[in-house]
Amino acid sequence: MKSLLAFRSLFARQSGGFTLALVLSLVTLASGVALLGTSGWFITAAALTTAGLAFNLFVPSALVRGFSFIRILARYGERLAGHDATLRLLADLRGWLFARLFPRLPLTDRSLRHGDLVSRLTADVDALDTAFLVAIGPVVAALVIGGVLTGVLAWLLPGAALLYGICYGVAALVVPAGLVLATRRAGSDVVARAAEARSAVLDGLDGHADLTIFGVLGTAQTGFSQATQRLGEARERLATLTAIAGFAVQSAAGLALAGSLWLGLQALGAGAVDGPVLAGLLLAILGSFEATSVIVRSVGKLTTAMAAAERLTAIAEGPIAIADPAMPVAWPVDTTIALSDVTFGYGGPPVLGNLNLTIAPGEHVAIAGPSGSGKSSLLTLLLRLADPQLGTVTVGSTPLAALRQADIHAGMALLSQDSPLFNDTIRANLLIARPEADDAALWAALADAGIADFVRALPKGLDTMVGEGGRTVSAGQARRLCLARALLSPASILLLDEPTTGLDRTAEVAFFETLHRAARDRTVVVVTHAAIPESTVGRVLTMRNGMLG
């Protein structure tokens, strides 16, 4: 519960919507109880009345219809307000999580698998955003309804008030509290096993080709089957405990109803209560326990939400891998890049060893080499996404560790092989690099990237949607749009990691020629497998085993 309370500020932002949903939930439950009570009183009174013409049929029948309509409308309003607030909370949760994660990238926990991280960013957030609708709201509503009906019984049927209050308290508080304690482990197991199953799916999809080549596809399938079996067992344990709690609640409801009936018949015999009133009260008691049944069904989701909150806070409050200096210095005017005796690794053998490299301002350098030789690690150090174990990386005479990360990332723009195009307009995708840029600057960047004519030919120009991942444009056009975004940034240093991946040779050559022209006034560092066309870069270096030659 402590981890769930860590998100109370985010819930507080949507307090208006949740309060409205709670009020409407109370109206819904109260209308249902009143509907049953009024119906029981009405039918019994009509049956017992000897002078039928003297009995007023219109008022109680109008009340029955009125409570029915109120219940329907309140239920609709509750769902509308509650889900609207929940969707807004979901947006806040994702914004909060990503804001906490960005300073912590790359994550220091090497044991965190890609699939598990994806599960935390998706399923765990989804589990958390339903905490109010399925748990907190029903508990509060049930307590209010039970308290009000206990007061009504104390007025009309005093003998049954204490028994009902005890039974209702057991159903609304004791059983759910016990269920939370009993299902705490089961809820955590469900979340963990679900994450394990998702990880198995993602690993199988990402590595399908390798699994097939090495003949271990059957082993992967067996592992996935075992993961889903463990998930099923965890969910079965949770469902069993929930069913037992449901039986306990129904037992409390039965005891309250039977006891109230017995005490009510005694009061009826003593003339302390009328028959129709007694019938109405008994049906109202029966209807009030509907709220406690909802609580029991919701506790299972509450325990999974608590487990999800723990998993989210674990990564959101993790250590910051790369911290800004206490007293940062300004971005230097001299942008000469220098790596001096740099050694770097990811916890194992060094990827880069005693590396020395100097790149003058405005110079274009290409670094070629086989996969795993350390090319991308070099860019990682330049962007200060990691620090070397030995040696220094400087811009001008200033070590990167003395600069704010925001200044580094403003001074260096990265175009990686998987730089995305988002499901938005061309304009929005470009403005990521410089939000204040006007249309003239956007067209200039597109022209520099050699794609302005293509964009002008589109029916909506800059306002054309590019689709998820840029699926509405070709691979070459997507690369050029990403290049335009990098060129639009004010960065004086451009870093490109395999920028021509997925392009044919003709498109590769055209891309490098465009880059040479467009970035002539900037420093460019390209790491690539592609053959560099002549005269498009000043130097071509080869990296092997973490060494430049």
The 3-state DSSP class for residue 435 equals coil
State the residue range of the domain holding 193: 2-316
Q: What is the DSSP string of 402-430?
A: GB-HHHHHHHEEEE-TT----SSBHHHHH
The sheet carrying 352-359 orders its strands as: 352-359, 337-344, 390-395, 398-399
Same domain, 378 and 279: no
CA dist 53 and 422 (Å) reads: 73
CATH number at 177 reads: 1.20.1560.10
Same domain assignment for residues 301 and 345: no
- Report how far apart, in Å, the C-alpha atoms of 487 and of each of 27, 142, 480, 519 are: 58, 59, 10, 7
Give the list of residues 6+ apart from residue 364 with CB closer than 8 angstroms, or none.
516, 519, 523, 524, 526, 536, 537, 538, 539
pLDDT at 375: 86
Q: Has residue 322 been placed in a domain?
A: no
Rounded to an integer, what distance in angstroms lies between the CA atom of residue 218 and that of residue 340?
A: 48
Going by C-alpha positions, the residue among 323, 308, 318 that lies closest to residue 107 is 318
Q: Are residues 122 and 72 in the same domain?
A: yes
In a domain, 328, yes or no: no
Alpha-carbon Rg of the chain, whole angstroms?
Answer: 33
Cα–Cα distance, 525 to 416 (Å, whole number): 12
Residue 387 shares a structural domain with residue 477: yes
Q: Report pLDDT for 1.
A: 58
347 in any annotated domain: yes
On whether residue 323 sits in a domain, the answer given is no
Q: Which two three-digit tokens encode residue 428? A: 């929005």
pLDDT at 359: 93
Q: Phi first, then psi: what are they for 528, rounded to 5°?
A: -160, 155
At 403, which CATH number?
A: 3.40.50.300
Q: How far is CA 220 from CA 197, 216, 232, in A?
A: 12, 6, 18
**408 and 486 co-located in one domain:** yes
Which residue, 316, 347, 380, sits at the end of a domain? 316
DSSP output for 530-545: SPPPTTS-SEEEEEET
86 within some domain: yes
Tokens representing 432 are 């990521």
Co-location of 288 and 386 in the same domain: no
Is the same domain home to 308 and 374? no
The CA–CA distances, whole Å, from 228 to 106, 121, 236, 409, 493 equal 30, 20, 12, 42, 48
Are both 291 and 353 inside the same structural domain? no
**Residue 275 forms part of a structural domain:** yes
pLDDT for position 50:
53
Q: Give every CB contact of residue 82 below 8 A, 6+ residues apart in sequence.
A: 17, 18, 21, 25, 132, 133, 137
Predicted local confidence at residue 52, as pLDDT: 47
The type of residue at 252 is A
For the chain, the domain total comes to 2
pLDDT for residue 505: 85
* Cα(414)–Cα(248) distance, integer angstroms: 60
- Is residue 302, in this structure, part of any structural domain at all? yes
Q: In the block, which residue shows the tokens 């991946």?
A: 501
Token pair for 234: 């965890």
326 contacts: CB under 8 Å, gap ≥ 6: none
Distance CA 215, CA 209 (A): 10
DSSP code of 533?
A: P
- Planar angle of CA 397, 403, 408, nearest 5 degrees: 100
**pLDDT, one tens digit for every residue, the chain (549 residues):** 566 777 778 888 888 888 888 888 888 888 888 888 888 888 887 777 654 445 566 777 788 888 889 989 998 998 898 888 888 888 888 888 888 888 877 776 666 666 677 777 777 787 776 665 656 677 788 888 889 999 999 999 998 999 999 999 999 889 888 888 888 888 888 888 888 888 888 878 878 888 888 888 888 888 889 989 998 998 899 889 889 998 999 999 999 999 999 999 999 888 888 888 889 899 999 888 887 877 777 776 777 878 888 888 888 888 887 888 889 999 999 999 999 999 998 877 888 988 899 999 999 999 988 877 788 889 999 999 888 999 999 999 899 999 999 899 999 999 888 888 899 999 999 999 999 999 999 999 999 888 999 999 998 999 999 987 778 888 888 888 998 999 999 999 999 998 888 778 888 888 888 888 888 889 999 998 888 888 888 899 988 887 886
Q: Please check whether residues 410 and 273 belong to one and the same domain.
A: no
Q: Which domain-ending residue is among 316, 346, 365?
A: 316
Q: Is residue 454 part of a domain?
A: yes
CA atoms within 13 A on the CB side of 152: 18
Task: Please state the length of the chain.
Answer: 549
Give me the amino acid identity at 47.
Answer: A
Among 283, 316, 349, residue at a domain's last position: 316
Strands 398-399 and 390-395: antiparallel
Q: Are residues 128 and 220 in the same domain?
A: yes
Are 296 and 358 within one domain? no
pLDDT at residue number 54: 54
Using the structure block, give the residue that is written with the tokens 């198995």.
200
Both 299 and 423 in a single domain?
no
pTM (two decimals): 0.70
